[in-house]
Chain A
Amino acid sequence: MKGNIKWIVCLTVIIGLVALPLLMETPAFADKLSDSIQQAVGDGKIDKKAEPGFLGIPGAPGVNYILGFLWAIWVGWIFSTVGAFGGIMAGVGHITIFGLGDYAKDFGKGYPLNKLVTDSIRVSNQWLVGLSGLISSTNYYRMGRLVAPLGICLAIGGVGGSWLIPDLTAGKISLKAYIGYFGIAVLALGIILFRETTAGGQAKRKKAKEAAAAFEKQAKDGGDTKKGVKVLEGSWVMMFVALGVVVASALWANLAGGARWVAYILALAGWGLTFFIGTIRFTFFDVEFKFKAFIPMLGGIFIAALASFLGVGGGFLYVPFLTSVAGLPMFLVAGTSGLVVLVGMIVSIFSYMVGKGVPVQWGFIGAELLGIFVGSMIGPRTSKYIPDIWLKRLFVVLAFYVGIRYITKGFLGFSIVPPF
């Protein structure tokens, strides 16, 4: 088991080492950006002599590093107090606060510069999430919390989903529609949060706490967090073959010039092979668990597709999926989901930056990371003064506001909540 985990970590590191440097700089980078600028100049959409702004585009909104830093403090504060909503807020910053959304929209649907700015916003989000995944999965590997079969099955779905969706939507979806879909995701999160704050949700929570208290003594007597995972049944060969096939599909899609149908067939073949892995049985804390390999694979496809499409990590979806749908203990999915987020983000960023030649503004990401760090220092110091339930209520209001605003702006063309 230990050997298998090492294999997975080695594989991830190799993918990272090869993919990260490759995706940084592509021949398409300068060409695509300058081509799009040239076209916009030719069409009279931008003034060539105007002051360069975002990505060096003449006349684009200047990226205000101080504003980015301050907004990221807010994002870091959310990360360190309530968690998942931070990724959404990072997206809100990129779309609205920095003025990039309205700027891209001005070019009109389907215009190359609109697509480029939209994709750049997505990739900027993904960089923030991917870097976080890198650190957290390393930490969980050290803690021995990576479950190899679960990670592989999720990655089989995730790797395919995270290239297929960008492939089908990048450049084909305008910022306007992207904002609308982003709004739906925010609203869905708001509804989930709202359910937790209702009387029913609170009663459930109280009951769960009572149950936890009932098992406290046994925890003190018998709790031993050092008991690891022992795999009893599961076809490793088939798992690695299926993973290899979907990774090949992603590489084909990103690197090969033509015959994209090969990539589609490889992805489908990889997913199909997962059905032959059968049931995976393992023990954890001397308790036996089993799951059909295709369940996390299907979850992986859906989550990675959604996450990649929205430019978020999907960690906030992996964990509830595996604990609620697959019924696995939280410790089994914690580290594993971090690893899957990382692999998914590597492939997705690779798809955008190498496959589509989408650039990002590095200095801005640096300022944001610094802001998130500062926010994470403030969060723990303030959260003790604000009860959990009120924090949740605050984010329910925010989620409803942001969700409704983005949905109406994206699909109707105007916001029904201020500013209109």
Chain B
Amino acid sequence: MSSLTIRNLRKSFGAVEVLKGINIEARTGEFIALVGPSGCGKSTLLAMIAGLESVSEGEIRIGDRLVNSVAPKDRDIAMVFQSYALYPTMTVRENITFGMESRGVPKPQRDEAVKRVAALLQIEPLLKRKPGQLSGGQRQRVAMGRALVRDPKLFLFDEPLSNLDAKLRVDMRTEIKKLHHRVGKTTVYVTHDQVEAMTLASRIAVMHQGQVQQFDEPQVVYDRPANMFVAGFMGSPAMNFIPATLTTDAEGKPAVSFKATGGTAVLTLQDGISPGAAGRDVILGVRPEHIFRYSHELKASKKSIARVDAPVEMVEPTGAETIGLMRFGELEVTGRFDPDEAPRMGETITLGIDMSHACLFDPVTRNLI
């Protein structure tokens, strides 16, 4: 059963179309992340699910009910805002119970609900405070408490972690994930942070320019991005794009060739892939973590390793790994190395590229081949 169905949803502000036919379906209990750069329409989409923005065309169903013109309060949803939107003049307790008070829930029941949520989020000591007296993380908890207390069909999160500092963000991310496991409610989560999307979601909808570019499980989105936008957006450092031409290698197997420093490099494709006739232009997409220092052990341990020589232009150690920038002809290519085998500045390194994870894109349509 699906608890949220969005069909051909469109939204225009005047002549500007910000959503151009969105289709998303969330199964009950699923955690959907809407991810994309700012201005892609993800927050507008969320506001439309919440009923805060009107629908220009298409339909939104929560459960089996068409909610296009249902008021926000009658949609059986709860929302956590980026700014938390806690009522500044009310105490934490009043903030949490305001919704129930508006709906005329009797006091004993309200107290019971507050007790349950406060225990769940460990905010009992804060109940008498005002939002102004809370830290960022505490406000975040209270905002979640206000959403949780409702026990709605659908949870909506609008970039809830982007106002927190880096460490707290990671902690709260884990906490949201745990919470979702415990509560098991269908959740739609908007973020511009692809790591958040990857870690939290059961499925990710990558949005760009008012359209869903890809809607799939995180690992699929990461490994087989539908197009170059998704490939470039998901993952950090970003995927390397190398313009290349289809050809055959010395053994007659399909391969790609491109201009590398000191000659043409020919990289044999993974067995069983035949992306088209030789001579076709393609874009080779290689993630930084699939570029290694070449060795015979490496060749032996992975199925399809291709060799390229490249001068090292820059090295950035981060501790856990070392980022190397190598020159491939006119391109700069990023690789993530184990610090033990990190390249050195000025060295010409022999790289092994794991072609089993490489992606090929059409240079015109920019879609995955």
A and B: real partners?
A: no
